[in-house]
Structure 1
Amino acid sequence: MDIKGRKMKKPPACVQCRRRKIGCDRIKPICGNCMKSGKGDCFFPDIPGQYVTSNIGSKDFDNLGSSNGNLMNLPLQHTISHRSRDTAQLLQHNPELASMEQIREYNTRLQLMNAQERRSTPISMESAKFIPRTATKFENKPVTSANSSNLNLNWVQGPAIFELINTQYSEKDLIQRELKFIKVRLSELQEITGKKIEVDLSADEKDKRKSDATEDIPVQKKIRLSSKSDGASAADDINEFDTEILDPKLEFSIFNYNDNDTTTAQQNSNILSSAKFSDVPNYLFDIRFLVKRDKFLEHYYKKLDMVISEKFIDNLTQWNQSNSNKNLVLKSQQVIKFPSRVFSKDVMDHFSKTMKKTDFNITPLENFDDIYELIDKLFGREPEFNPNSLNITSLTLLGKLSVILLLVHSSLSNSVSKPMGEQASSMLLQLNEWYSNLKCNLFLIKNALVLKYGSPQSLEALSFFSLYKYQQSIATDINEFIDGDDDIHIARNLSINYETEDKSLVLLWNFIFRSYAWRHLYKGEIPALIMGNEFRTSIIKDRVLADGIELLSSEKDLVNYLHKKNDILSLKKVESLKEKVMSSFSDLTQKQKFHSIFLGFILQSFIYRNFNVIFGFLFINAYEQLKEADIYASSYLQFLELVKESLLFITNSFSDVSISGLEFLFAKMGFSLIDNICNFLLSLYQRCFFSFSLQSTNNDAIHEMTKQNISEQLKTIITILKKVRKLLQDRVNDSKIVNPLLGRSLVRLTTMIEYIKLCDQESEAQIAINKHLQFGGSSAFDNMKEANLVKGLKILEDMSVSLIKKDSFDEENSYRTVSPNTLGITHENFVRIYTSHFN
């Protein structure tokens, strides 16, 4: 009510909530929605007649977050209400309205008075706030040095959060007082953790002798580590900007690439390694990145490089010339071309029928009605269109049609679990003829949208670009596409990631979010555009994303930590984050028992298993560098179990008849995972081989059993690689059109088997011993205990049987080597082998 007794309107919502079109509780100075999402720019429009104004500055907003939880603990005398008599009489007849008004005024006044009180009262140690710990496992140990202090030290993980206040102390006095406080804190933390760090925190004598009147420069303190108990020398001075002090045995230093060529003397003049197999630090899970971090795996690729440079240099020169003259874009095609109207509709009907087998949705293709109408309206006998003459609606619909035809082509070419009918076989052959035209259609449509409309900011363009990016991410082409993340950029510009009541927009955002995260995480990239806090309040209606959001979040945290270039990575922290990923996947597996989204679980399982296998390989490399034999043996056995489970999961997924025709959704991830596993097994083979060569020169009878176990592991790894090659070859034989990724994996695996044959020929000579010495003269298998070797051999034998039973596999006739000295490379197959490894 105003002073004349007239009833005033309901106060308006804050500007932020009105923009987002969500309900606002109108609590001042910060409403509930803005408080939850961390938005400090919450403000209300000016209203004439408003008596209580929100007079809080931006500096006070940080205090609201910490003081809001203590508002109810303040004395009640602060809640004095100032109302007129007329207003009080009116509120007696409307108690509900009175309570609401009192709550608003109560909350506003308490926040303002609490902030004022915090500014005027210095913070004492008893009320200091500390950053809470995030680790779930922490021991509660009594701290005797804390005396009767009421601080809950079990929740202190430092560093403390302090406020800037005026003080009468000089800078030097403050440093001395802070030094005393740090000493107390150090003793407390040492007692809590049970670890003692001998650190000299005293000031230098030179600094102590300085006069206060002549001291212009800040006092420099040096922290030195004392000598260790094992006799190691003291560490160098620690820079104050260093992020963390770690024991070298606790560092995860496997990512520190050292480009030292110790295997061949001819690599310095060879341009192939630097030009065609360069490091890719942004793709942590790419085989090129992993090869540079494993000396045994790098040795194989350098051997391949050396063979090509010495014996096939003319072929390489000829290929480089022909490849430079290739035009990646068909200049002859300047129009958008499609098959006939009837055939296009048949392909769309086939795609709709295939996708009905599962609850996994490709959101931009949930409704085909607009595409059917466009076909009936525009398609003639030979559908051809000039992209410059089409509007944005027609361009986006024709782009979606091109994607559907490409997806059906991928679906039919990857489906071999059951026989293909004549109609489907004929459809696949026709689509294969149109494949290059359909790829060019997408290129022309994308360019037309950008050239005609600049940066297209519409839902139609967003729907097309999100579908286009998804098709590129699951396509099995060998050449990598340039990912400009158009889908996520347009989505963020249109602000569809915020709360909305439109279910279609929510589902579209969930699809874009999921697709963007999956395609980046599978390669080991940071999904940077979805790492902000504003995405924590996004609505999730997609069941696949809702079930796997915790797994996705834990995978993002792990990859984000590994990309810290300026920090020393902690091995324990990496293991902790990996355990969190495993725990999230275990929870997802439990959820799967209550839902029917089987295909969505398969896709997330491929990403998780790729994570697990790669990190298992990285851990065994890390512990090998640290020369931790016992921990290495445990990690090695765990890695073999992961490989066995992953190979079994891949074979079951591709042979499942219930999802026949849907293999194209995970074919790229599946064949990439097989390729990674084969590379890792080759690395293990080389470790075993060099260790076996070293053991062969030792005539001591004690090592006879060790030599025999390592020899059996060598044979079993060779058998596994040959069985994997047999499975891939059978799939190629059953395919009417060979998947490019499948063909590349088969060529790589064949070259590996030729290399293994070459190693066998060198096993009796001194060549293998010399190579072993070049790797530092030791591998993890040299010092592995016999019991662990026996366990590893048992896992490898089980892995071999799970692929193909012994009675059904003829190892001698499964593959016969061609030319081990050239790793199977001939003038006829040079291009195929070279492009499979280096292109």
Structure 2
Amino acid sequence: MDIRGRKMRKPPACVQCRKRKIGCDRIKPVCGNCSKAGKGDCFYPDIPGRYVPSSTYVSNKPDYNRPVGNMIGNYNSISSSKDATSVLQHNPELASLEHIREYNTRLQLLNQDRGRPSPTPMDHAQFAPRATPAYENKPVSSANESAHSLNWVQGPAIFDQMTAPYTQEEVMLKEMNFLKSRLLELQELTGKKVTGVNLNFDPLMGGDDDSDSIGSEKKRRKIASGNADPDGIDHSELKFTDIVDEFKDIDPRFLDYSKVFSVFGSTNPALPNFDDTPNSIYTNHFLALRDNFSYSFRKALSYTVKANFESNLTGWQQKKLSGEALRLSSGIIDAKNLPIKFPPREITQELINKFIMIGREITNLIPILKTRELFSSIEQSFGREPIFDPSTLNIGQLITFGQISFCLLFTYESLASSVLIILKDDQMEAFKQLIKFLPQLLKNVKSIKAELDKRKGSLQTIETLKFIALYKFYQTTTSLAMSSIDTRINDCVDYDEDIHLALHLGINDEQKDETTIQIWNFIYKNYCWRHFFKGETPIMMIGDKLNTAPIVDVLLSSDYSFLSYQMEVLQYLQSKDQIISLERVERAKELFKSKFDAQTKRCTMSGSTAILVNNVIDTIIYRNSVLYMNYYLLLQYEVLKDSEKFITVYNELLQFIQDTIFYIFSNLANKTMVGYECLYINRLFVTLRLICDLMLALYQRCKFAFNALDMENSEKLNNESNVQAQMFATILRKLLMLLEDYTKNCKVNKPIISNTIIRIQTHITFTVITADDQTDVNAKLDTEAKAKKDALVDEVKKTIKDAANGCEGMEVSDFVKFNVTLKSISDSLIVTDFYSKREPYVPSNPETLGLSSETFTKIYSALE
């Protein structure tokens, strides 16, 4: 069979026998007639679908119909460059691209040996060896990323006939990738570098005479999206792996440590209940243990708790430990004790109908949630009191009731997350009943999941996979505790159940079932999103072999290159076997921006609501990542005492913080996103909390920069740095005011919002007790409380006493410039006149950072 699925005819006779019009026995490489006649020019014509060794015949045009082989058969299809031949003439060892196609690599030989355990005398030789002793057993690492020895063997290549489910263009692209790898190996073997040869072959861009061709359409899409520059370079297609890494496999003794990105390796001593997260680099725990100024706040909190709230902490820990123990045993829950219950039929149908009307494109965003198909199931299954025993239901019924439960939960999230949806009296009554049913709906999900785990063979069905995928997606979008045992927001361990089950069922492989492919596309995207946001490498998706399914989801199709780049960056930052290059991290951040700009431009031009919502999630993940990357670079230059670079990154960070704050609040009340806020609101507030954490750390740098210095202009520097510290404190207060006003318009008080408010209030309390003017604070404290406050401030100063402080390398002019920037950020939030008319937040119990016996659990959980 050839690539088009046609039956292959009998192999043709050799060219000599065809000319002589005699019968040919078709023996290769030399037929019987030519052998008897002593003719050395016996060869066979190349035909579609079959490769033959040919030393004298070269096709004049590429053969697009041939199947994928282990090597390239027709080297004339390699490049359309007319200069290739002249360039190669000056490289004796690479005098012909024929050498490349004749080059049998170690991988091919190993694969051949694996498929054929032991050769027999009947085996035909696969090559006519022309050994080059100088290159034998020479290590090659450029293409294979290993230093294993690789023998150089030349000879006519033999290709096997096979069929492949690829188009002609895909065949050529795969063969070109192989060819590039072989060229790298040849260059390393010979020590020769070939220049001027264009191997960036793209058959899709050919065919100038066919304006309606696929290539022309691809070219039009690139130009329309703004990705194609006049010079022909598509910057959106740049890869992070294209950057040369001079730090890989280099002896550290020969490195310039001013070029090494090393802040990930330095950690402060661990704190109680504040564990390091080395595999999650975009988390508060990871950052605080590597930034002395973030660490000082955490240590002050730990100091306060240890000195005043030991018994409260013990109770909090016991509750958390018991919750974790119960969670670990949740797979053994007796489903009979957890019946499945729903609101009355009419209310359930009304709520789902409201959800469908609000989120008209929700099926594009969550394709496995079939909302319209649920009405018939509700009509048939629901009685006067819809209560069901899960042990009596079959798997199909369990999955259906799981879909109904998730649909109602998403309905609640959609209505609760939007301040622009107005509910009439009857709708508000139905919403209040839904709120009462929330705990039961969460129990429904737990009960169904536990019952499916008990059923034999249930995990072998696609329907179960849909339920698990919905379960994991809901976990990433809700701020509700998934059960009563959770001690903090969304306190659940991510076991990646969806991706493991999908790989177990093999839906990540190439197939023709479009519905199954759609499920895999959704799972893949959600899996990447939840790991990228925490700065984790999506380890199950590294490598092309784990994701060979095509993309039918339009959202993933527009996202794929952007997701792939994030995966490459995180894989490099998380690398444990090599030293990380500071220059490469900077370059990665620049490429990240270009990738993001190209992605946003494509999504904006599409005009689809689903794609725009999808892009909001991408944008939040991007902004969260860049905030961390900028701050880590700031820490690196602070350690290196590189004031110039520190000031540059500091300026970028402040500008990016301003843009991100505006983006967050603009998407809390965006008319285009009405009803879809629930899909990204959690990540919005987590990113806002990160900004507040960073500003508190920057506040401390300014506050304690020049207090103990005796130098020229120290008074001016101290004054300007104090002004900057006060600007950070004012911005925190304005953010608190905005959130309090926002909550007044919310239908319910969402945990993620209330916890963010508590966090900011604690930060403001920290700025109050470390301010220069303590008159008002001390007037409200007794002697004991004042002593506690002073001891707490002394602990902070002691923690950062010997810490590197980048602000100490600034000049007065730098502080003046940054103060203007901070004032702009402050005024963009709330104008000064309006802000001055509002009563400022006055912290209670400032000597203990707001903690008391009554508020301990609430505040400590919000800060944990």
The question of a shared fold, defined as TM-score above 0.5 by the shorter chain, is answered with yes
The residue correspondences of 1:533-682 to structure 2 (distance < 5 A) are 533-534=544-545, 537-596=548-607, 597-682=611-696
Letter in structure 2 aligned against 1:614:
Y
Contact 1:544–1:601 (CA under 8 A) maintained in structure 2 = no
**CA-CA distance at 1:400 after TM superposition:** 1.0
Residues 1:310 and 2:307 aligned together: yes
Residues 1:528 and 2:539 aligned together: yes
Mark the runs of 5 or more structure 2 residues left unpaired by the alignment.
11-24, 30-39, 48-62, 75-97, 105-125, 154-186, 195-246, 481-488, 776-789
Residue by residue over 1:438-468, the C-alpha shift from the partner in whole angstroms, topping out at 9 and shown as x without a partner, is: 1111111111112113461212112211111
Residues 1:422 and 2:432 aligned together: no
Residue in 2 that maps onto 1:464:
467
Contact 2:280–2:535 (CA under 8 A) maintained in structure 1 = yes
Specify whether residues 124 and 815 from structure 1 end up closer, same or farther in structure 2 by C-alpha distance, changes over 3 A only: same
Residue in 2 that maps onto 1:815:
841
Letter in structure 2 aligned against 1:429:
K
Residues 1:339 and 2:348 aligned together: no
CA distance in structure 1 between the aligned counterparts of 2:411 and 2:534, rounded to whole angstroms: 25
CA distance in structure 1 between the aligned counterparts of 2:367 and 2:590, rounded to whole angstroms: 32
Name the SS of the counterpart of 2:749 in structure 1: coil
1:508 to 515, 519, 540: 519
Letter in structure 1 aligned against 2:348:
S
CA distance in structure 1 between the aligned counterparts of 2:7 and 2:491, rounded to whole angstroms: 50
**CA-CA distance at 1:372 after TM superposition:** 2.0
Residue in 2 that maps onto 1:349:
353
Letter in structure 1 aligned against 2:257:
P
Residue by residue over 1:536-566, the C-alpha shift from the partner in whole angstroms, topping out at 9 and shown as x without a partner, is: 6432232222222221111111111121123
Residue in 2 that maps onto 1:727:
738
CA distance in structure 2 between the aligned counterparts of 1:479 and 1:769, rounded to whole angstroms: 32
CA distance in structure 2 between the aligned counterparts of 1:102 and 1:526, rounded to whole angstroms: 38
Specify whether residues 359 and 612 from structure 1 end up closer, same or farther in structure 2 by C-alpha distance, changes over 3 A only: farther
CA distance in structure 1 between the aligned counterparts of 2:605 and 2:363, rounded to whole angstroms: 14
Name the SS of the counterpart of 2:267 in structure 1: coil
Residues 1:248 and 2:267 aligned together: no
CA distance in structure 1 between the aligned counterparts of 2:46 and 2:443, rounded to whole angstroms: 73
Letter in structure 1 aligned against 2:684:
G
Letter in structure 1 aligned against 2:284:
I
Contact 1:360–1:600 (CA under 8 A) maintained in structure 2 = no
Mark the runs of 5 or more structure 1 residues left unpaired by the alignment.
1-10, 14-21, 29-49, 55-75, 84-98, 134-156, 167-180, 189-237, 262-272
CA distance in structure 2 between the aligned counterparts of 1:77 and 1:348, rounded to whole angstroms: 77
Residue by residue over 1:10-36, the C-alpha shift from the partner in whole angstroms, topping out at 9 and shown as x without a partner, is: x488xxxxxxxx9699899xxxxxxxx
Residues 1:402 and 2:405 aligned together: yes
CA distance in structure 2 between the aligned counterparts of 1:298 and 1:736, rounded to whole angstroms: 36
The residue correspondences of 1:207-226 to structure 2 (distance < 5 A) are none
**CA-CA distance at 1:486 after TM superposition:** 2.1
CA distance in structure 2 between the aligned counterparts of 1:333 and 1:589, rounded to whole angstroms: 49
Q: Percent identity?
A: 27
Residue in 2 that maps onto 1:804:
830
**CA-CA distance at 1:829 after TM superposition:** 1.3
CA distance in structure 2 between the aligned counterparts of 1:621 and 1:678, rounded to whole angstroms: 17
Specify whether residues 121 and 807 from structure 1 end up closer, same or farther in structure 2 by C-alpha distance, changes over 3 A only: same
The residue correspondences of 1:424-443 to structure 2 (distance < 5 A) are 424-443=427-446
Q: How does the TM-score come out when normalised to structure 1?
A: 0.71
**CA-CA distance at 1:239 after TM superposition:** 13
Name the SS of the counterpart of 1:480 in structure 2: coil
Residue in 2 that maps onto 1:788:
814
**CA-CA distance at 1:493 after TM superposition:** 2.7
Letter in structure 1 aligned against 2:690:
N
Letter in structure 2 aligned against 1:259:
N
Residues 1:825 and 2:839 aligned together: no
Letter in structure 2 aligned against 1:545:
L
CA distance in structure 2 between the aligned counterparts of 1:607 and 1:118, rounded to whole angstroms: 55
Contact 1:690–1:768 (CA under 8 A) maintained in structure 2 = no
RMSD: 4.2
**CA-CA distance at 1:406 after TM superposition:** 0.8
Residue by residue over 1:324-345, the C-alpha shift from the partner in whole angstroms, topping out at 9 and shown as x without a partner, is: 6666679894211111111111
Letter in structure 1 aligned against 2:836:
D
Residue in 1 that maps onto 2:165:
none
Residue in 2 that maps onto 1:3:
none
CA distance in structure 2 between the aligned counterparts of 1:488 and 1:24, rounded to whole angstroms: 37
CA distance in structure 2 between the aligned counterparts of 1:79 and 1:821, rounded to whole angstroms: 93
Name the SS of the counterpart of 2:265 in structure 1: coil
Residue by residue over 1:606-625, the C-alpha shift from the partner in whole angstroms, topping out at 9 and shown as x without a partner, is: 11101111111111111111
How many residue pairs get aligned? The number is 662
1:392 to 377, 381, 395: 395
Letter in structure 1 aligned against 2:577:
N
Contact 1:412–1:424 (CA under 8 A) maintained in structure 2 = no
Specify whether residues 772 and 82 from structure 1 end up closer, same or farther in structure 2 by C-alpha distance, changes over 3 A only: closer
Residue in 2 that maps onto 1:4:
none
Residues 1:120 and 2:124 aligned together: no
The residue correspondences of 1:63-142 to structure 2 (distance < 5 A) are 79-80=43-44, 115=104, 119-122=129-132
Q: How does the TM-score come out when normalised to structure 2?
A: 0.69
Name the SS of the counterpart of 1:782 in structure 2: helix
CA distance in structure 2 between the aligned counterparts of 1:814 and 1:770, rounded to whole angstroms: 25
CA distance in structure 2 between the aligned counterparts of 1:690 and 1:297, rounded to whole angstroms: 14
Contact 2:139–2:150 (CA under 8 A) maintained in structure 1 = no
640-649 vs 774-783, which deviates more?
774-783
Contact 1:693–1:769 (CA under 8 A) maintained in structure 2 = no
Residues 1:707 and 2:757 aligned together: no
Letter in structure 2 aligned against 1:474:
T
Residue by residue over 1:150-207, the C-alpha shift from the partner in whole angstroms, topping out at 9 and shown as x without a partner, is: xxxxxxx9998862379xxxxxxxxxxxxxx99x98999xxxxxxxxxxxxxxxxxxx
639-648 vs 374-383, which deviates more?
374-383
Contact 2:277–2:283 (CA under 8 A) maintained in structure 1 = yes
Specify whether residues 389 and 164 from structure 1 end up closer, same or farther in structure 2 by C-alpha distance, changes over 3 A only: same
Residue in 1 that maps onto 2:206:
none
**CA-CA distance at 1:414 after TM superposition:** 1.3
CA distance in structure 1 between the aligned counterparts of 2:461 and 2:352, rounded to whole angstroms: 25
Letter in structure 2 aligned against 1:749:
I
Contact 1:637–1:791 (CA under 8 A) maintained in structure 2 = no
Residue by residue over 1:33-84, the C-alpha shift from the partner in whole angstroms, topping out at 9 and shown as x without a partner, is: xxxxxxxxxxxxxxxxx97899xxxxxxxxxxxxxxxxxxxxx95733699x
CA distance in structure 2 between the aligned counterparts of 1:118 and 1:244, rounded to whole angstroms: 46
CA distance in structure 2 between the aligned counterparts of 1:739 and 1:699, rounded to whole angstroms: 50
Letter in structure 1 aligned against 2:314:
T
Residue in 1 that maps onto 2:476:
473
Residue in 1 that maps onto 2:495:
484
621-630 vs 706-715, which deviates more?
706-715
Letter in structure 1 aligned against 2:150:
E
Contact 1:417–1:655 (CA under 8 A) maintained in structure 2 = yes
Residue in 1 that maps onto 2:150:
163
429-438 vs 526-535, which deviates more?
526-535
Name the SS of the counterpart of 2:276 in structure 1: coil
Specify whether residues 461 and 53 from structure 1 end up closer, same or farther in structure 2 by C-alpha distance, changes over 3 A only: farther
CA distance in structure 2 between the aligned counterparts of 1:769 and 1:27, rounded to whole angstroms: 86
Contact 2:269–2:289 (CA under 8 A) maintained in structure 1 = no
Contact 1:719–1:811 (CA under 8 A) maintained in structure 2 = no
The residue correspondences of 1:150-189 to structure 2 (distance < 5 A) are 163-164=150-151
Specify whether residues 241 and 377 from structure 1 end up closer, same or farther in structure 2 by C-alpha distance, changes over 3 A only: same
Letter in structure 1 aligned against 2:583:
K
674-683 vs 565-574, which deviates more?
565-574
Residue in 1 that maps onto 2:112:
none
428-437 vs 770-779, which deviates more?
770-779
Letter in structure 2 aligned against 1:79:
F
